[in-house]
Amino acid sequence: MKYVMLYVNANKAAEVKKELTAKNYVKRVSLAHRKELDEHFVMKNKDGEEEA
């Protein structure tokens, strides 16, 4: 299973979720605030090094 993280403005979140599931691009969509995502996931650049 692969994961994709999208940052979307709060006022468009419901519309984006509906569009992704309606067109069968994804099976499941989870929503969270950006701060929570940034604290939970460690982003890596193309070289595999962690970003500050």
For residue 1, pLDDT over 80 is answered with: no
Q: What mean pLDDT comes out for the span 11-21? A: 91
Record the pTM: 0.57
Each residue of 22-36: pLDDT tens digit? 998 888 888 887 777
Average pLDDT, the chain: 80
Calpha distance 34→48 (Å, rounded): 22
Domain spans of the chain, in order of start: 10-40
For residue 52, pLDDT over 60 is answered with: no
pLDDT above 90 covers what percent of the chain? Answer: 13
What's the pLDDT score for residue 15? 93
Q: Residue 52: CB partners within 8 Å, gap ≥ 6?
A: none
